Structure 1
């Protein structure tokens, strides 16, 4: 296989892969969001996890807690009779109501790239955008506060803001039971932090032991995509539930597969649960050694689907006059790699879901690490992409040098190849034998152009997933007309430049041994790629333009060196 045929095959493979991704996305489109008039369903757990048996301080699991059955609540959120508490920090603005975070705005992230755009709302009580974080307690034979009722605000001001110079803000709630048991809940917000600390302290002032389980859950309806169309990155970003356990590691499930893929009933120690979407996510992170049970539930809100992931546990057994404490973190924010790593939680970095395949996810993490280093150097994500191209070109230089050297030598001997064609006519077998003999005599490697193309294709596809998922590049400008590297080029300038580069590269690439049909097909490749790139993120097209431009320069220099004077015909 010569260099041109290798490029043709791999180019068509890339096109076919992108088209297959688009076709698969059409088939697995997320369920439509519920109608605006439909009230979200709410679920309260009715059973305790068997995992709690044997856990120090945990109640006897022979006593299964009993709580009210799941009920439909108004779109105003849980504990409808409890007034809202609004908390504002430098990065978050949230609505608290009892045991539920019913709204959360991400103040550093505008909803769109338009001027004066409102902040991105991740959690919402509105029925069409319904996405809430809830936490409560269940107990067998004893009263306990659920996320729907029980917790009451223990402060005075209901509009709280992180004071200038302060690093954290504590928001207290309390539940007082009829038998002398109380639970003090404190939400702690920290400056610059998207992880909310949630601390529950059970105080037993009754004459009898109190047993109970804390539960934490995320509930939502599927969100409607903001950007649709061919090859839209948002369409390929995972939407659904994810969880991590020390034994089975990272797992996830799309909304449409909640029921089809079977029941989730996973006993864990530590781990985390989450709801993921493009660029953002919410996650409950219990204590590293807390015993719990992960489960999924598909609810019906007026006939439309609503999805829930829950962590039940840990359990506590509080003697009279004693206290017990359980803590967790609630992440509500963007998929910022550094901020997530700073949480020091095993597997939480997988929430940045670069790919469903671990090998591509690992490669994407490596590419992002390099891209981040380039950004630290240049201070601009666009120039960081160009810097990444230069770095990758240096790494792949031995392979690309062999590719261009082979192409240059083949170009030099094109007159000899044309002579062989004339000599053997339609006898393809003799022509191929003579061609191989020429290659052997002149020390030309006919497959020298194949090897570099495979890593380039893998890098291209990995970079697509990485750029599509990286919130760091969301609305990030390059310069001039490119004001969002994760959106397509608004004026298609970069795709047109790429067409020109591919056309020029093609002119330097010999068509040795290629039949007329293949050669004609090759002529259309720059246009085909140009059309596809017109729908892809500008950052990815910038990578392709920089990569192709440097490749063209390298190929031209190599051609000048090895093919200055064409070989004469014999």
Structure 2
């Protein structure tokens, strides 16, 4: 039995299984909804009322809700910066739409920014307010006023101030701060107690979303990324809580600092409370079918004539690791490279470094693949030399099969004797390949999860490395190169079933890669080409060494 071949085939099958299994867990076969082509308000009015607002103190479950209060589309403020186009609803002061002008919705509509937060056909908003005993949003959403209905960032920072005076005597300024080049929106509540009694309230901030699909998904078979909530607390640095989980039971946790987010493919929205505050985090599905994920801050007690502040941050943007690290601790974990993150992270940093030199993510993939191949050369070289050495003894193994083909036990016994006598390792050519498999899987997730590759062109017909090759040229080239590679690895003594499997593997992989991102297919194609080249060089080197050995023996024999 050719143990090395069986192990190799099993290893390839394991890689395929792991990729497809992990893929199917995080990805669903759904079709993304279309994005609107402008930031203008939808004709459909969002229903943002007190039923969306958590009740009680920090440690209280968020199950008290009252009736919705619809608002008019005229009560809105629009904010335009270099990174964000935002609409704020004056009824509650919620961010009901956020678009990213630096990220087109599609290559076909370069002037239409991608929308994360949205209302109308979809509902996905970032809400915040004041609840508790004297909260202005406890019974109904507060109606704010603003000095103007449009704000444009012309300098390094822009403040958008909304004002409200409650019947209780609590004066509230809700201030949004936008910074040039940043996707982080600062939120500050400035509170003044103008009454004659002590007032108390809690700030809350939450994300509110419906069941609509992920508009940033790539499309194709199984290519929609994880869509759901995530929490970071002292108890768990990064915890996924899917929408299905929230349908079954509420999520509650109390933690100092932390954050709450809803993530999708390439983008996320996150509320980040004060790092030193003890916040009550929650997630649930409301009776209206919407999902809520947010936090409530500690109670603010304000004496008559005194003031108080409550602060938080709202990140609305791409899953860019360099940006996320600055925003909050552990927020960069939303770029989820899976269980091999400790390998994937250095690979991404290497790709990022190469991209800084060549300015093209496609060439970054090519050069990174060749560099990894160079680093793993000692392992792969040993593998190919072992294969070549095994090939030399193919005739002897074939003789053993002819002699003991019907006696499997004797055949195995005699084969092992041959291995021991000639110092052959049947697994010598396979183990180095198994060592490389974690690198392949880690790179797969780097290419799948990195927003930097979104809409990034390579050359010729490859205009977006994050989606499939539109003409299937790369998958076919990859399949052809894999066929050549498998042919080079086959041996005359190979079992017929093994030979059939080896021939079928390129067909199976070609079909799989028809729907994979072009960046991943490019990597596999370049890896195959470098493998073929390296194996050819090793085979020639071994052949020259064998020829020299035979020549030396002849010379010694003639001398004798």
Q: Work out whether the TM-score is over 0.5.
A: yes
Quickly say closer, same or farther: Cα 1:147–1:442, change in 2 above 3 A.
farther
Q: Distance in 1 between matches of 2:170 and 2:486?
A: 78
Quickly say closer, same or farther: Cα 1:178–1:19, change in 2 above 3 A.
closer
Consecutive unaligned residues of structure 1, counting only runs of 5 or more, are 52-63
Q: Does 1:197 align with 2:177?
A: no
Structure 1 position 134, deviation (Å): 0.6
Equivalent in the alignment of 1:500: 480
Is the contact made by 1:264 and 1:295 (CA closer than 8 Å) also made in structure 2? yes
**Greater RCO (CA < 8 Å, at least 6 residues apart):** 1
Structure 1 position 175, deviation (Å): 1.5
Structure 1 position 295, deviation (Å): 1.0
Equivalent in the alignment of 1:70: 66
SS at 2:107 equivalent: coil
Q: Normalising by the residue count of structure 2, what TM-score does the alignment of the two structures yield?
A: 0.88
Q: Distance in 1 between matches of 2:476 and 2:353?
A: 29
Structure 1 position 94, deviation (Å): 0.3
Q: Of 302, 309, 326, which aligns to 1:342?
A: 326
Q: Does 1:83 align with 2:70?
A: no
Structure 1 position 23, deviation (Å): 5.6
The C-alpha deviation readout for 1:19-69, integer Å capped at 9, x for no partner, is 445665688979999xx9997675111211139xxxxxxxxxxxx9x9983
Equivalent in the alignment of 1:134: 127
Is the contact made by 2:46 and 2:119 (CA closer than 8 Å) also made in structure 1? no
Residue correspondences, number: 533
Quickly say closer, same or farther: Cα 1:535–1:29, change in 2 above 3 A.
closer
The C-alpha deviation readout for 1:103-159, integer Å capped at 9, x for no partner, is 111101111122535110110111x3210001110131x35246963242332x312
SS at 1:50 equivalent: coil
Equivalent in the alignment of 2:40: none
Is the contact made by 1:4 and 1:511 (CA closer than 8 Å) also made in structure 2? no
Is the contact made by 2:135 and 2:202 (CA closer than 8 Å) also made in structure 1? no
Provide the alpha-carbon RMSD of the alignment. Answer: 2.9
Equivalent in the alignment of 2:171: 182
Equivalent in the alignment of 1:59: none
SS at 1:526 equivalent: helix
Q: Distance in 2 between matches of 1:434 and 1:93?
A: 75
Is the contact made by 2:132 and 2:138 (CA closer than 8 Å) also made in structure 1? no
Larger deviation, residues 424-433 vs 363-372? 424-433
Q: Distance in 2 between matches of 1:31 and 1:489?
A: 19
Q: Of 313, 316, 322, which aligns to 2:297?
A: 313
Q: Which has the higher helix share?
A: 2
Q: How does 1:240-389 map onto structure 2 within 5 Å?
A: 240-260=228-248, 262-301=249-288, 305-343=289-327, 345-355=328-338, 359-389=339-369
Q: Does 1:101 align with 2:95?
A: yes
Equivalent in the alignment of 2:145: 153
Is the contact made by 2:24 and 2:222 (CA closer than 8 Å) also made in structure 1? no
SS at 2:238 equivalent: strand
SS at 2:110 equivalent: coil
Consecutive unaligned residues of structure 2, counting only runs of 5 or more, are 35-42, 551-560
The C-alpha deviation readout for 1:308-330, integer Å capped at 9, x for no partner, is 01201132111122111111110
Quickly say closer, same or farther: Cα 1:428–1:38, change in 2 above 3 A.
farther
Is the contact made by 2:513 and 2:521 (CA closer than 8 Å) also made in structure 1? yes
Q: How does 1:480-495 map onto structure 2 within 5 Å?
A: 480-495=460-475
Q: Distance in 1 between matches of 2:329 and 2:218?
A: 32
SS at 1:452 equivalent: helix
Equivalent in the alignment of 1:6: 7
Structure 1 position 253, deviation (Å): 1.1
Quickly say closer, same or farther: Cα 1:253–1:438, change in 2 above 3 A.
same
Quickly say closer, same or farther: Cα 1:217–1:181, change in 2 above 3 A.
same
Q: Distance in 2 between matches of 1:294 and 1:112?
A: 35
Q: Distance in 2 between matches of 1:295 and 1:375?
A: 40
Q: Distance in 2 between matches of 1:148 and 1:324?
A: 22
Structure 1 position 285, deviation (Å): 0.5
